[in-house]
Amino acid sequence: MQFTAAQIALLLDGKVEGDASVTVASFGKIEEAKNGELAFLSNPKYNEYLYSTHASVILVNEDLELKQAISATLIRVPDAYAAFATLLTKYQEIATQKLNGVQQPSYISTTSTLGQNVFVAAFSYIGDNVIIGNNVKLFAGVFIGDNVVIADNVLLHPGVKIYHDCIIGKNVIIHAGTVIGSDGFGFAPLADGSFKKIPQIGNVIIEDFVEIGANTTIDRATMGSTVIKAGAKLDNLIQVAHNVEVGNNTVIAAQVGISGSSKLGNNIMVGGQVGIAGHLVIADGTKIAGQSGITKSIKLNNKTVTGSPANDYAASLRSQASVRKLPDLEKKILELEKLVKQLLAERIPSEG
């Protein structure tokens, strides 16, 4: 697919500076881009590459000032990074729109309903009473259990497994290997020391505009629903336990574990390898630094925490700074003890 600078500028509501008829067919990083590719520049650290890149078209912020002439055509936009993301999204949409129909071998229950322009890749399975909306794309090896509902414009990458009764909203992207609706970790201890499995009869609800990374697991609720609310973004390798709620526009980095029945509010940012204990409430706007351990609820909005167990960010940093000084403090204490012993030794004979 080829596009002119003029066409791209029209799509992004940008302003062309240079040859508006130049065409691009792919994308490249500004320091590596070749002729016929489009790059973007939003970080001032990469400004030097503006004058050496071979990219044909470059998206830049509208307030960028040139220090010398360049060969590439510029498209000036208010936010080059956001514009580039929009352009990539449109590019992907065009690429996936061409996919249509059902590849074989696949299994689709006769009681299921598929919308318009649906693509089902080979080795996919669609169970009984499934409802699939328009423009849904299921790549190879996707499993859809009985009674699942999938809304319009959903993209399920290879090997995604969605267990029975789960609900997927509009414009959701789920990456390869992710499992939605597996049993929650529920076992009742018995008098003989063994454990009895507690049936998990709830489901998972993924609301609109959610994206979930590869090999993430979201467990079904014991009763009711595990809920990922609209606009949330989950990275790869995340464990979300039964009856958890993740709020609107909350972002969670890789290798995070959220224990059962915890409720995360809206617009939260969770760093990598964070552990969140069960039955906690995390307030809106909370920022949790990577590798933190959350052992109690965070009730104040927009608070930043770090450490394990997590504490207020500034207080935790002061504690960490103090810990780093412990070797020097120990040395000073030993020197003081030695000095005190010397003074005592000198004083005792004189008093005798």
Catalytic residues: 242
275 vs 194: CA distance, rounded Å: 27
Alpha-carbon gap, residue 46 to 50, rounded angstroms? 7
Measured distance CA(220)–CA(202) in Å, rounded: 6
Nearest Cα neighbor of 155 from 170, 136, 141 is 136
E strands of 72-162, at which residues? 73-77, 101-102, 107-108, 113-114, 119-120, 125-126, 131-132, 137-138, 143-144, 149-150, 155-156, 161-162
Rounded to whole angstroms, the Cα distance separating 309 from 94 reads: 47
Using CA atoms, how far apart are residues 138 and 153, in angstroms rounded to an integer?
11
- Paired strand residues for 195: 189
Query: Using an 8 Å Cβ cutoff, are 276 and 259 in contact?
Result: yes
Helix ranges restricted to H, the chain? 5-12, 80-97, 313-324, 326-351
| 53: CB partners within 8 A, 6+ apart | 30, 31, 33, 39, 72
67: CB partners within 8 A, 6+ apart:
51
AA identity, residue 200: Q
d(CA 42, CA 198): 52
Query: CA-CA distance, 94 to 324, in Å (whole number)?
Result: 54
Structure tokens at 68: 């010398």
Identify the CA nearest to 181 among candidates 152, 160, 208, 196. 160
Beta strands in 169-246 (DSSP E): 173-174, 179-182, 187-189, 195-197, 203-206, 211-212, 217-219, 225-228, 233-234, 239-240, 245-246
